[in-house]
Amino acid sequence: MTENEILELLKKRHPSDAWAFFVHVRNGTGFARRQDRTADALAMGLWPSRGLDLHGFEVKCSRQDWLNELKNPAKADAVAKYCHYWWLVVADETIVQPGELPSAWGLMVAQKSRIIARTEAPRQEATPPDYLMLASILRRAQEESPQAQTEAAYKRGRDEGIKEGKKQFRNGYSSDYARPQTQIEEFEKASGLKLGQWPGGHELGLAVKQLARSKDAIENTKRSLRWNRDALVAALAAINNILNPPESGAPLLNEVET
């Protein structure tokens, strides 16, 4: 399982009606601390009847991650000292070998749809949070508020849109964007019309539509004239044949260039 999947299971284990749950909480804000440490998650009970205790969680997804943690076990104390309970949450039980778990830590194992406590964490006397730690917790609460999440989603969408637009432009879409302007310039040059001189696109559209209809009317007129011409030639030929019978030797009209 990934760290994010484990954190989602931890969040499910600590529902919002009884717990305040935050991920990736530092031991302070800014650079005021000499050592900057981060808890993978914090959860605090909200009801005195259930205990107003602060739980801290260190998530490990591989044995190598855990071995690196064991090389510097005091690193977690920067946040763990403010917690009543400190838990190691692993993606698989084989990550932690017997005898490796510190005595002040509890052990949880993530499964497909839940987290199971294998070793209960002993309750410790917690150091009251100072203002730097309190500011860090409140900052995470602010970042996870609905308004902050909406603003963050908007910013991500805007940034991704700008990034995608730049990518498309680099890949040749710029020519597609320029094509409409080129077509407008060609239209104005061929027609002698300036689109900016028209009060609106509607009027210009009607004019172009009327022009197209006029073209059809002209074609119909040309066909009619050709038919009338052919009929006139046939009539003149008939008249000529009447006035000048063929035996007279005069050429027929339909034998003359017309």
Same domain, 117 and 52: yes
Query: Could you tell me which residues are beta bridge partners of residue 190?
Result: none
Is residue 89 within 8 Å of residue 80, measured between CB atoms?
A: no
Same domain, 180 and 241: no
Same domain, 175 and 221: no
Return d(Cα 119, Cα 90) in angstroms, integer: 12
Return d(Cα 244, Cα 91) in angstroms, integer: 115
* pLDDT band, very low/low/confident/very high, at 247 (cuts 50, 70, 90): low
Q: Over the stretch 89-131, which tens digit does the pLDDT of each residue have?
A: 999 999 999 999 999 999 999 998 999 999 999 999 999 999 9
Return d(Cα 95, Cα 4) in angstroms, integer: 18
> Domain of 75?
3-138
Pick from 1, 10, 8, 17: which is nearest to 116 by CA?
Answer: 10
Q: If you search the block for the tokens 């954190």, which residue do you land on?
A: 7
DSSP-derived 3-state class of residue 123? coil
Same domain, 24 and 107: yes
Same domain, 90 and 166: no
Between residues 244 and 179, the one the model is more confident about: 244
Same domain, 83 and 189: no
Q: Over the stretch 61-96, which tens digit does the pLDDT of each residue have?
A: 999 999 999 988 788 899 999 999 999 999 999 999
Range with the poorest average pLDDT among 78-82, 136-140, 234-238: 234-238
Is residue 84 within 8 Å of residue 31, measured between CB atoms?
A: no
Which of 197, 218, 234 is the endpoint of a domain?
A: 197
Reply yes or no on whether the pLDDT at 256 is more than 70: no
Same domain, 118 and 83: yes
Q: How high is the pLDDT of residue 155?
A: 80
Return d(Cα 119, Cα 87) in angstroms, integer: 9
Identify the H or E element spanning 90.
strand 85-90
Q: pLDDT averaged over the chain? A: 83
Give the pTM.
0.59
* pLDDT band, very low/low/confident/very high, at 258 (cuts 50, 70, 90): very low
Same domain, 186 and 206: no
Continuous H helices in 46-126: 63-71, 77-80
* pLDDT band, very low/low/confident/very high, at 3 (cuts 50, 70, 90): very high
Same domain, 181 and 212: no
Number of domains making up the chain:
3
Reply yes or no on whether the pLDDT at 148 is more than 70: no
Same domain, 128 and 240: no
* pLDDT band, very low/low/confident/very high, at 199 (cuts 50, 70, 90): low
Pick from 121, 128, 126: which is nearest to 105 by CA?
Answer: 121
Same domain, 27 and 82: yes
DSSP assignment string, 73-88? GGGGHHHHTT-SEEEE
Which of 123, 138, 153 is the endpoint of a domain?
A: 138
* pLDDT band, very low/low/confident/very high, at 248 (cuts 50, 70, 90): low
Q: Over the stretch 172-187, which tens digit does the pLDDT of each residue have?
A: 655 555 667 777 777 7
